[in-house]
Amino acid sequence: MADSEERIALFLDFENLALGARDRGSKLELAVITDALSERGRIVIRRAYADWNLFSEYRQDLVGQRIEMIEVPQRAGVVRKNAADIKLAVDALEIAFEREFVSTFVIASGDSDFTPLVLKLRELNRKVIGVGVEGSTSELLPGACDEFLFYERLLGPGSAQSAPRRRRRRTPESNGEADESTSDLSELARLTTKTLAGLQRSMDGPVLSSMVKRAILRKDSTFSESDFGFRTWGELTRYLETMGIIELHPGTAQGDPVMDFPSEGGGEGSAFDLLKDVVSELEQRTGPPPLAGLKDMMRRRSPGFSEKDYGYGGFLQFVKAAAAKGVVDLEWDDKGEDYYLSTGAI
């Protein structure tokens, strides 16, 4: 068995999931959850918590998925608020302290009451994945997890119960959706390049594709490449490479290439060319232009321009990078109280 294989403990707040699926007009499919987790590692603990008298129709499915049913009965005339939640939390913490080999905890619930449990498990250096039904998941819980999977998206785009995609990949047939899809892909490119640039600034050595994916998940635990119409992270990065946004080079491990910005042509290079052309035109008209207003001039030439698409936090940072590469000259003018640019052409 590979030492790097994840050992997963699955804890299901069954009532929360089943009722959430029921509200969407469907029955909870447990195999969808266990299959998705099996792709991430070996599930060594499978427990579901509920009063099973209320969910007897699921017993056969639970047995088929080898999930242990923990009985939390609801006594007549007695209010037992959060009884299943408390039992689940106690068991999860007990496993965390007693079984070091368990590396990943899956809390399948949309209840924000589990947020303290998630944070405590992460304090104990455990990875935590959340699973919830989108319509009944608190906004607080996903952000606390290392990764959060929405049940509807696990069903896949062919399912009648699957959630509508937040982002769609543009295809020749999409016509009416082209503007929205273009915006979605710009959002995707910006997220990737901004993350890549941040990693390059904060670490020595090459940045692997897997590092970028992990950093994106730390920013947004609900991120999924499937929301953009891609089956895998590798397919997504290869698409960005064909668009000239990034470059991929062989890494130390097969299937995990080094990610970088394009060294020349396309991508950042084309943005620097745009900057140089605009500065040269303004320079010939009125002399070296100031930094103020220059971005608007570039957007008149290229309406979709944004320095953030190339991993820069601000326009000045982008211009300084261009100056460092000799694309333009950049000087501060005390009298004008601004930076002025030139190309050296006049």
List, by residue range, all CATH 3.30.420 domains of the chain.
175-260, 266-342
Architecture of the CATH domain 175-260: 2-Layer Sandwich (3.30)
List, by residue range, all CATH 3.40.50.1010 domains of the chain.
7-154
Q: pLDDT value at position 7?
A: 93
Total-model pTM: 0.63
Q: pLDDT value at position 126?
A: 95
Q: Would you tell me which CATH number, out of the four given (3.40.50.720, 3.40.50.1010, 3.40.1410.10, 3.50.50.60), belongs to the domain 7-154?
A: 3.40.50.1010
Q: Which residue's entry shows tokens 């009451």?
A: 113
CB distance 233 to 209 below 8 Å: yes
CB distance 116 to 141 below 8 Å: no
Q: 247-253 and 127-132 as β-strands: parallel, antiparallel, unpaired?
A: unpaired
E strand segments, the chain: 7-13, 42-50, 68-71, 104-108, 127-132, 147-150, 207-208, 247-253, 256-260, 329-333, 338-342
- Residue 210: CB partners within 8 Å, gap ≥ 6? 233, 256
Q: Which residue's entry shows tokens 């940045």?
A: 207
Q: pLDDT value at position 75?
A: 64
Q: Would you tell me which CATH number, out of the four given (3.30.420, 3.40.50, 3.30.70, 1.10.10), belongs to the domain 266-342?
A: 3.30.420
Nearest by Cα to 311 from 193, 185, 203, 188: 193
Nearest by Cα to 222 from 109, 130, 108: 130
Q: What is the mean pLDDT of each run of 10 residues along the chain (346 residues)?
A: 78 94 89 88 94 92 94 64 86 95 95 95 96 89 92 66 42 43 70 83 85 87 83 90 86 88 63 90 90 91 80 81 86 89 75
Can you tell me the distance from the alpha carbon of 28 to that of 34, in angstroms, rounded to the nearest whole number? 12
